[in-house]
Structure 1
């Protein structure tokens, strides 16, 4: 049977009216539990899809995709289209986009798409390696388990002498990030999405998280394998007083997260951000100082790639400075 109909109905059901208080206000004393949000329903759908074999996954994903497209068309073509969409229609359209993306991730492989993604992954890897070469850094692989960003930062903090080896693990950096965010809600709430946006269950009119949602977010960051992003990087930079440099493909090649206003006076933790290393999944690795025994192979074999990255308009790479060039007779 295709994915559970009840879940799809819940996924596209309009939210209840806003009832929570913004984080800046005292938490509500109401004892009623917060309704299940759309992200939780999507997680349930993902679990159901992953539990099935390939043909059933494809069938269910196709059904989910068709429902999503239908719901999105219905929401966007509702009476009064062209005017501001109602809360109900915006919620349905947003959930439809989420479900469509979920469905696409479970459809059968497409050779053309696979080839394109492989090319993008290779280009991204080349760009990241070029920046690492400039800085004499090399990748230290972090497991793709949802903790990668926290693992990468923990490794860097250990290299900087800010964490002992026993504490260089994601549980420690997760706890530090969550504690800092909890202690400074005004610095983070404007940048944290409400569970389902400004029209979500319990969200305020300005779309800010309620106190309950904020607590739930911090708990999720601290105690689960939830993926970390820019808010958590900022929290870690401030908590440990370090600059965190994220090397990535594209422009800019390095994104700096500073614990304060001034640049250059902080210890620097270097990590890499990959959009294509594991297919469509985003991933972080730690960037360690390049070992001497690995530096020479980089110099010999990566010179052409590095030169093309640093000098894209020069069709004639210069001889490598560390390779002696003997004149010909």
Structure 2
């Protein structure tokens, strides 16, 4: 029989093995499978905990474990039994009770009259006491089965089988995150860029653009063609975080050039602009075009397998870049790399 120390050592090994397995599952989970994998891992941990608690309780006495788990339909050995001198158990009380409960019928249906002598009446004992007697006699020869333990073991086996199937399916899936990362890093290396992490909080596009503007010493409040500084409604440098100023620059440009954006919107510009300006709504292609035009810069977005270039309206930014030097800002776009979904990082030049 396994000692308590051996059981505890085995439990520690099982816990380490389970943690390694859970770590592997979570590492290979994608955005679509993450919720199911987390639920599966929680179930595996709970099953292991329940099983180990049962095994630790067993050395204290099988009867205590049975009572704690609430066995159903089992009675202690020896109830209602008398032991004869030769060691054979007889259930005289049970036979008497069955005789009392026996329904006797006659042709006349009179309780006090019989069609034959009482001694010859064939009684039909109920099946339930017979089943109990058989269960008791079987229990005398060995240890009782614990039905609660059997149910827990069966449920754990079913979950283990489902977990193995899910793991096999995960191994067969394409590692989109890894492939995307490899493609982006090759482009970073080609252009001499290093990645600057931006917080994934819904403002990532505007924060990344603000970082790029600061790297190239481009004023966050853009100027018009005649050198006049545009005022951003209700905001100014030092009064709002940079991403908020960049949001307002984008929406102010969209407000003043509606024909460039209305055909691509699924809602009125009057409701779209406040949402982009005042909330953490994600920015996208339209906001990149507005920012390229407002700041008169070229924006290059490095993504999986390609690099997209956004030119300002009319190509004026390209001519400005030729006059002033490098006016190109670089962003990295992730579709699979972050748990919240699409994300932008800033790409700085290697020093």
User: TM-score by structure 1 length?
Assistant: 0.46
Greater Rg over alpha carbons, structure: 2
More helix by share: 2
Greater relative CO (CA pairs within 8 A, separation 6+): 1
TM-score by length of structure 2 reads: 0.43
